Amino acid sequence: MKNLFLQPNKFSRSERKIKEVRGLILHYPDWPCGTPEDIWEDWMIGHRYGSTQFVIGETGVFKFMPIDEVAYHVGSHNPTPLAKRRFGGIRANYYLLGAELCHPDKTGKPYDKVMHYAIELYAFLCMRFNLNPIEDILLHYDITHKQCPKWFLDYPVEIEYFRDRVKEHIEYHLEVHPDESPEVF
């Protein structure tokens, strides 16, 4: 994992603290992008609210802020019933970690390496925060009804496959390393 922290600013990194991690969100950039650095630059020079704790590219996982900080990734003045029930509605950013998945084209399908890294990261985060990958890995759409991430909305079987792979990764880790707790990063 590589640190590529955003500089504190009002649009992408407030330095406010997460209250409690209750779920994990998958995102995708609205435009085809090759690298996490592309997203970092957009968020640093942009003048719109948006960020995630992680961005995953073909070269690995990039951490854009400390894991205990709030990112602006699922804010909405019209949260879904699920967001209201589980994550405090318009305050959902205080309970969710998120990652952008880099992709090469308008389909939004993440690069294969990105999916590999995402499965590893989400398995680690599920173990670290005692989350159920089947119930607690969600799409941006589930919180705000934004059409994100496109690939998983267009092909719903893909999110089920992703959740199952994360669950398998956790089970394998626990079988091979039963006494090892996830490292803190």
Edge-first strand listing for the sheet containing 23-27: 2-3, 60-63, 54-57, 96-101, 23-27, 137-139
Average pLDDT over residues 67-79: 92
Instruction: Give the count of alpha carbons within 13 A of 89, CB side only.
Output: 4
Phi, psi of 2 (to 5 degrees): -115, 135
pLDDT digits (tens, 9 = 90+) for 172-184: 988 887 776 665 4
Q: Is the pTM of this model over 0.75?
A: yes
Q: Which residue has the tokens 């330095």?
A: 15
Instruction: Give the count of alpha carbons within 13 A of 123, CB side only.
Output: 19
Helices (H), the chain: 36-45, 81-87, 112-129, 133-136, 140-144, 150-154, 156-176
DSSP assignment, residue 140?
A: H
Average pLDDT, whole number, for the chain?
92
pLDDT category, 185, cuts 50, 70, 90? very low
Average pLDDT over residues 44-52: 85
More confident residue, 49 or 24: 24
Looking at domain 2-176, what is its CATH homologous superfamily? Answer: Peptidoglycan recognition protein-like (3.40.80.10)
